[in-house]
Amino acid sequence: MDLRREAGQRTRDRLLTAALELLAQRGHDGVTLREITENAGANVAAVSYHFGSLNALRDSAIEHALERYLDAQLQELGSLGSTSTLEELAAAFARPMVRALAAGGADLAVMRTVARIGIDPPEGWERLAGKFDQARRDALRVLTAHLSGVDEQELIFRTRCAAGMLNWLALAPIGAELAAKPAEQIERLLVPVVAGAFHGYPSAG
């Protein structure tokens, strides 16, 4: 039974990988079930067994990519402490996107797919709410240490705006311009912008 379960998991993983690669190349509506199964070395019955339908497989593949992105972001944010600066927070928050931009190719195409679908996320993404919440808590730990006079809800709003800006970079023409640069240069350009979103405009007096 264990060997059968492991074989089934490998098939499921291959289907997810093949679907994500094709989605990144052609978009959500440009991929057929036959292409995915051929690329994965699987059959149509495997899609039905593991996912139920082509649409469910496509949604699961994009969700899987988002989860990998969140895990990378949480790893970066988890290394910060309350004494970390806003610039260090901005760098940690943006680093997974910086890596995708610098890598270009399939990595950037995957992030574009995630960002595009994220505008109207599938219901299944609710299971990732805990990771979104953890990223927000990690960011707030640093933000509240530096911006104690700012209401928590406003800090959460700034965090959401910073995340939206990173998603926009994956889709906008400027993202393609950044993708031609080394990661260190992308980070040098991007970190002050993200840090500015966190810091906000200083109030008078």
Per-residue pLDDT tens for 56-79?
Answer: 898 888 888 888 889 999 999 999
Flag the least confident range among 64-68, 118-122, 176-180: 118-122
Query: DSSP string covering 101-130, please?
Result: HHH-HHHHHHHHHHHHHHTS--GGGGGGHH
- Which segment, 110-119, 125-134, 144-153, is predicted with the most confidence on average? 144-153
Percent of the chain exceeding pLDDT 70 equals 97
* Residue-wise burial string across 3-31, b where 16 or more C-beta atoms lie within 10 A, e elsewhere: eeeeeeeebbebbbebbbbbbbeeeeeeb
Residues 176 and 35: their CA atoms lie apart, in Å, by 28
The answer to whether the beta carbons of residues 198 and 127 sit under 8 Å apart is no
The two three-digit tokens of residue 185, written as one number: 């240069």
Q: What confidence score (pLDDT) does residue 98 get?
A: 93
Q: What per-residue confidence (pLDDT) applies to 113?
A: 81
The structure's pTM equals 0.81
**Nearest Cα residue to 141 out of 78, 192, 70, 194:** 78
Return mean pLDDT, the chain. 87
Q: Which of 8, 139, 168 lies closest to 70, judged by CA?
A: 139
Six-digit token string for 176: 């393609």
pLDDT at 204 over 60: no
